[in-house]
Amino acid sequence: MKTMQTNRAGLPATMKTLATAAALVVLAGCGGGGSDSTPGGTAVVGPLTLSGVVAARAAATGQSVDIQCASGTGTATSNADGSYTVTVTDGQLPCVLRAKGTADGDLYSVATGSGRTATANLTPLTHLVVASMAGGTPATFYNNFGADMGALVTPARVEAALATVQADLTARGIQTAAVGNPITAALVPAGTAQTANPYGEVLAGLEASLTTTGTTLAQLVTAVAKASPTVRLPAELLRQPQASNCAALRSGTLRFVWITPAELKADGDLGTVSRVTLDAPMLTFGNANGTSTSVTADGTCRYKGSTGMNGDPAEVVVSQGGVMLASSTIGGVKRLGIGFPEQSLTLADLAGEYNMMQVESNQGVVVGSGLTFRLNASGAVESAACQPGEVLARTCTPLSGLFPKLSVNAAGGFTMTSTDPAEPWTSRWFAYRTGSGDVVLMQIDQGGTFGFASPKVARTLPSLGTSRSWGASMDMERVASATTFGETTYLTKRVDAATDSYVRTIRNPLLATDDSHDQTIQHNWPRAGWTHLAAGSSPTPSGSLVSFREWVNLRLLGTGLSVTYSVPTATQAPVFSFTVTQ
pLDDT at 404: 95
**Between vectors from CA 410 to CA 409 and to CA 413, what angle results, nearest 5°?**
40
Distance between CA atoms of residues 517 and 508, nearest Å: 10
pLDDT at 34: 33
User: How many CA atoms within 13 Å lie on the side-chain side of 49?
Assistant: 4
SS3 string of 344-360? ECCCHHHCEEEEEEEEE
**Contacts for 276 with CB less than 8 Å, ≥ 6 apart:** 253, 254, 256, 285, 286, 287, 288, 339
pLDDT at 39: 36
C-beta atoms surrounding 10 within 10 Å: 8
DSSP string for 389-441: T-TT-SSPPBP-S---EEEE-TTSSEEEE---TTS--EEEEEEEE-TTS-EEE
Distance between CA atoms of residues 347 and 358, nearest Å: 21
Distance between CA atoms of residues 62 and 464, nearest Å: 39
- Please answer whether residues 251 and 278 qualify as being in contact, where contact means their C-beta atoms are separated by less than 8 angstroms: yes
Which sign, positive or negative, has the C-alpha torsion 327, 329, 335, 292?
negative
Q: Which residues of 159-185 are buried (b: 16+ CB within 10 A; e: fewer)?
A: bbbbbbbbebbeeeebebeebeebbbb
pLDDT at 172: 80
Is this prediction's pTM over 0.75?
no
CA-to-CA separations, 374 to 15, 25, 134, in angstroms, rounded: 12, 14, 23
* Residue 47 backbone phi and psi in degrees, to 5: -60, 130
3-state secondary structure of 38: coil
* Residue 270 backbone phi and psi in degrees, to 5: 65, 15
* Predicted confidence pLDDT, tens digits, the chain (582 residues): 443 332 322 223 444 444 333 332 333 333 333 333 333 344 556 899 999 999 987 788 899 999 999 889 999 999 988 999 999 998 999 999 999 988 888 999 999 988 899 999 999 999 999 988 887 788 888 987 876 667 778 888 888 888 888 888 888 888 888 898 999 999 988 765 667 688 888 888 888 888 888 888 888 887 776 666 567 788 788 789 999 999 899 999 999 898 887 666 656 554 678 889 999 999 999 887 788 888 999 999 999 987 545 567 789 999 999 999 999 887 788 999 999 999 999 999 999 999 999 988 766 678 888 999 999 999 999 999 987 778 899 988 899 889 999 999 998 899 999 999 998 989 999 999 988 788 999 998 877 789 999 999 888 888 888 999 999 999 988 999 987 899 999 999 999 989 999 999 999 998 989 999 999 999 999 999 999 999 999 999 999 999 999 999 999 998 999 999 999 999 999 999 999 999
